[in-house]
Amino acid sequence: FNGLKEKKFLGNKIGESSYFPPKPFCSRTLKFEAELLECDGTGIVEAFTIYHDEINMVNFPQNDSIPKVPFVLGVIKIGNSDQCLLHFLSGFDMSDIKKLPEQIKVGMKVKPVWAEVRTGGILDIKYFQPA
C-alpha cells in the first residue's frame, strides 16, 4: 500500500507466479522467496457487477471516497498477476444503467485513476477507467 501513495503498483513474483498486490508466500507452492515487481496498474476486467441499491450500503471508513449509486465494481487482473483485485470502475455513461453492460466488457483493458490525496490504502486508487 505504501507504493500506492507514490502512484506505484508493487507486486511480487514467487516461483512462476506473480501477484498484484503482493502476497507473503505462494499459496500453490508455499514458497516465501519473492522478487519485487512494479507495473503501471493497467489491468483487464475479469468480471463486473452494477450496484444500484442504496438501502444496503456498507458504512466504510473514508465513505466519502465511495461513489454514489449506481456504481460499478470490477474484478481486475493487474498485469500478469495470478490473482485479481476488486475495485470501482468508472468513465462510463451512467445515465441509463440498463445500457452499462453494453459499455463494459469482460476482457477490456483498464487503467487506474488516482485519488488526489493518497494515504497508503486501496482507496488511493479512486477507480479504474477504460484504457
Predicted TM-score (pTM) of this structure: 0.86
Query: What is the identity of the amino acid at 73?
Result: L
The pLDDT of residue 127 is: 94
| Separation CA 76–CA 106 (nearest Å) | 10
The pLDDT of residue 42 is: 95
Residue 85 makes CB contacts below 8 A (sequence gap 6+) with 20, 21, 75, 76, 78, 122
Strand partners, 128: 89, 112
* CB-CB contact of 15 with 79 (8 Å): no
Mean pLDDT in order along the chain per 10 residues (131 residues): 89 88 84 88 95 66 68 93 93 87 94 92 92 93
Specify the residue for cell string 471516497: 65
| Separation CA 49–CA 24 (nearest Å) | 29
The pLDDT of residue 108 is: 96
Q: 66 phi and psi, to 5 degrees?
A: -85, 130
